[in-house]
Structure 1
Amino acid sequence: MAKILAMKYILIDKIKNFEAGKEITATKSVSLAEEYLGDHFPTFPVLPGVLLLQGMVETASWLVRASEDFAHSMVILEEAKNVNYKSFADPGTTIEYHAKVKKMDEDSSTFMAEGKCGDKLIVKARFSLRHFNLADKDPGKAKIDSQVVENLKKRWQLLCKQ
């Protein structure tokens, strides 16, 4: 049986607001206990910029999944444009990510997103996502798609708890 790999880092702690097909707001609390902060940078720990972008992508991915009733097991970054880093997110801060749909089709979507710490904008970007199932190219992977979707539905429930 194939092993289902999960992302090592989950960069969203909570879904605060969700409007199907339109927009979503999620939060991430940055903790000094996160292992990547030990290396980035040891005397000035901050959330790496690529993880700020990934937080926006994860936020938008949840919007796609929930809006499409979890029709696809895979929602991945296809292209990022105009990524603009304005400031740092250090331990003890909470990032609020907001993603707004520009276009959403069955197999792709485009977003404008930003991350803020309080009222301070720290990152913004435009990006597109691709949505698909593994079974689209290999029908033998339909069971894996089903398992991934079930796990994502469970995580969605946890993220939406108040």
Structure 2
Amino acid sequence: MDIQGILEHLPHRFPFLLIDRITELVPGERVVALKNVSFNEPFFVGHFPKYPVMPGVLIVEAMAQAAGVLSFKTTGDKPKDGILYLFVGIDNARFKAQVVPGDQLVLKVNIERKLRNIWKYKAIAEVNGQLVAEADLMCAQTPL
């Protein structure tokens, strides 16, 4: 899925859209998404001016956005249908390595469970095959 498909399946826009491409998607199971990290990202202005590091919270947000695309593709809904997935929980978040300009973040998200409107996911982020972050995520499907 290219950026146009992502824009159809996520309500996020610049400067908060944090995925660039979907390389694999199995509805109801898993997604693999990419985020190309550029020195031009707005957060690098202040984090940190002489040592640019992608904030961990934005890595987690990128994983959550990939989970959102997976959820929308699983249900067949889109944001324009008046549906939104809100982040409601993060557990076991760990950061193993820094993400810096020039890195390509590979986001892998699996659906662990869905109960009514609550979705649970296992997510990891890698750069060059090295684990940089992981977390258990939870989102709630809600009408707009």
Is the TM value for this pair above 0.5? Answer: yes
The percentage of counterpart residues that share the same residue type is 23
Contiguous gaps of at least 5 residues in structure 1: 135-162
Tell me which residue corresponds to 1:41.
Answer: 48
| Aligned-CA RMSD value | 1.7
Out of 47-56 and 63-72, give the one that drifted further: 63-72
Residue 17 of structure 1 deviates from its aligned partner by 0.2
| TM-score for both structures, normalised by structure 1 | 0.76
| Larger-Rg structure | 1
Matched, 1:21 2:31: no
Tell me the secondary structure at the aligned position of residue 56 of structure 1. Answer: helix
**Counterpart amino acid of 1:31?**
S
Q: Output aligned runs, 1:11-160, within 5 Å.
A: 11-70=18-77, 73-134=83-144
User: Which of the two has greater helix per residue?
Assistant: 1
Question: CA contact under 8 A between 1:21 and 1:104: conserved in structure 2?
Answer: no
Structure 1 stretches of at least 4 aligned residues deviating more than 6 Å after TM superposition: none
Residue 5 of structure 1 deviates from its aligned partner by 8.2
Q: From the superposition, tell whether residues 5 and 18 of structure 1 become closer, same or farther in structure 2 (CA, over 3 Å).
A: closer
Contiguous gaps of at least 5 residues in structure 2: 1-10
Residue 105 of structure 1 deviates from its aligned partner by 3.5
How far apart, in 2, do the equivalents of 1:6 and 1:47 lie?
18
User: Which of the two has greater strand per residue?
Assistant: 2
| TM-score for both structures, normalised by structure 2 | 0.86
Residue 46 of structure 1 deviates from its aligned partner by 1.1
